[in-house]
Amino acid sequence: MSAHRTVVRNGHVLTMDPALGDFPAGDVLIEDGEITAVAPSLPVTDAEVIDATGHLVVPGMIDTHRHTWQSLVRGICGDWTLADYYYGIRLGISPNYTADDVRLGNLYGAVDALSAGVTTLLDFSHCNNTPDHSDGAVNGLQEAGIRAAFCYGFFESSPGQSKFGGHADRVADFHRIADKYFAADGLLTLGVSLSELFGLPWADTAAELAAAREREALLVNHAGCIFGSVLCAGITEMDTLGLLGPDMVHVHCNAFDDSEWDAIARSGGKVSISVETELNMGFGRPVFDRCARHGIKPTLSADVVSLNSGDLWHELRFGLGCARADRLVPINLGGAMPDSVQITAREAFDWCTVNAADALGLGDRIGSLTPGKRADLLLIGGPALEQHPRVDPYATLVYQTTAADVRTVLIDGQVRKRDGVLTSVDLPALTSAADAASDRILGRVRAAGRALPGTPPNAWAGIETTAREFHEQAVQAGKNRGLPS
């Protein structure tokens, strides 16, 4: 059978591969979804041509942590604290999602990401209230045609009214999902979203870890994001018990001390930074500088569109500003001004391409325009004012580009957006469905008598009491294995 061939012609190609470099005028040849050649000019005549004249051609962006299902309540927690989010979204809105709401939320959220140039995302899926919800979450990603790590979450959104018989039933459902959808190699890869450390009995956390590693699944956890609490800590205990590893993406990490950072670095763990969420909800400073000090390559995530936008251009822009400012604090405090910015726009673009691909265990498949990798790529440009003149291509990407400037998107060689128009969905119908679903969800919340955000008084005190109990279980588990506490 002859290969389907596409050549992306005459773009300014930024490969993100140091061995290849960049081509101010270059071509990219794609055969059956794989990049087979990148060069200043390719003598190809028997291929579909995508004219990239006047455009940047770059690898698709990769988001390392997104609660995709929340796209149906976009912006609802713009003025909420983290506690408001926990009680409003996790315990208030999530129980009122139907299985089809989860499907639609993942479809809508993935299309939103795709349109903005995110070709791969880590879906931190923690609205799996029933087996049907779990199926809906996977189906939504499949319908969108995006590349994703589907990371199954075990979170119980309705304590005391669980649709599962217990935590063991949730683990069994994870294995069902793994068997049903992940037997073949495709756009979706399998992962596990750990319940917040010390949010469950330690034996349940150990069961989640064991299930993930039995399936060789990617692991992701919310980490070090609640100051003054042991909840979302646990890195020291996991290190003591030998449970950390390079298969883990640790999200946020703002409250970590040096011992926790050392443990992540020793284990080869990865870090995902959600700049907008962290700055707006009181998590603390994004941890770019801490990553640099411990030799960890940072990655970026949009986290929740229930607060911020669904693209990574905002995360890049704000993130680089934070990273540069933190690096230069000692100079400023010394009463001086810097001679250089120390972190370039080119280096920042690594955060959402090559670094992110490695974090998801997909560095051999995506993240750069390297022959042999899958053809996930973007054409950036068009008529917008902010795209002209293009003096520095990386500065244009980081500081000037918006989702509207993402003109064409290919995933696995398939065009998902062409000349600014999505090709695989009926956008008016999709937005209408999302509006209607949002109204129904919030109507059910109101009918249940739930006031949003509605954080109970002393909420964190109650959570902390339980978290400390489960923390002690982890300490005891270490002692039982003869390890230091």
Q: What is the pLDDT of residue 161?
A: 65
Tokens for 476? 């005891």
pLDDT score at 90: 92
For 325-333, what is the mean pLDDT?
92
Taking only the tens place, the pLDDT of each residue in 129-182 is: 999 999 999 999 999 999 999 999 999 887 666 778 899 999 999 999 999 999
Q: How many residues does the chain have?
A: 485
Q: DSSP string of 341-378?
A: -SS-HHHHHHTTTHHHHHHTT-TTTSSS--TTSB--EE
CA 28 to chain centre: 27
Beta strand 248-252 with 147-153 is unpaired
Residues 65-74: tens digit of each pLDDT: 999 999 999 9
The residue type found at 105 is G
What is the pLDDT, as a whole number, of residue 350? 98
Sign of CA pseudo-dihedral 214, 142, 2, 10? negative
Grade residue 1 by pLDDT with cuts at 50, 70 and 90. Answer: very low
Written as one string, the DSSP assignment of 6-72 is EEEEEEEEE---TTT-EEEEEEEEEETTEEEEEES-----SSEEEE-TTSEEEEPEEEEEE-GGGGG
Integer Cα distance of 485 and 482 in angstroms: 9
pLDDT tens by residue, 191-247: 999 999 999 999 999 999 999 999 999 999 999 999 888 999 999 999 999 999 999
**Spatial distance between the Cα atoms of 121 and 63, rounded to a whole number of angstroms:** 5
Residue 351 has pLDDT above 50, yes or no: yes
pLDDT tens track for 436-483: 999 999 999 999 888 787 677 777 777 888 898 999 998 888 877 765
Domains, the chain, in order of start with CATH, read 5-59+371-422 (2.30.40.10), 61-359 (3.20.20.140)
Give me the percent of the chain exceeding a pLDDT of 90.
86
| Residue type present at position 72 | L
Q: What is the pLDDT of residue 458?
A: 75
Residue 2 per-residue DSSP state: P
- Going by pLDDT thresholds of 50, 70 and 90, the confidence category of residue 356 is very high
pLDDT beyond 50 at 484: no
Percent residues over pLDDT 70 in the chain: 98
Q: Residue 413: name the closest of 369, 353, 362, 446 by CA.
A: 369
Would the pLDDT of 337 be above 60? yes
Q: Which residues pair with 140 in a beta bridge?
A: none
Decide: 71 and 305 in contact? Cβ < 8 Å: yes
Section 95-102 average pLDDT: 96
Residue 477: per-residue pLDDT: 84
> Which pLDDT score, from 0 to 100, does residue 389 have?
95
Average pLDDT, the chain: 94
- What is the dihedral angle through the alpha carbons of 96, 124, 458, 467, rounded to the nearest 10 degrees? 120
- For residues 402-410, average pLDDT: 97
* Tens of pLDDT, residues 23-41: 999 999 999 999 999 999 9
Element (H, E) at 153: strand 147-153
Beta strand 61-66 pairing with 406-411: unpaired
What global pTM score does this model have?
Answer: 0.96
**What is the distance between the alpha carbons of residues 115 and 365, in angstroms, rounded to a whole number?**
21
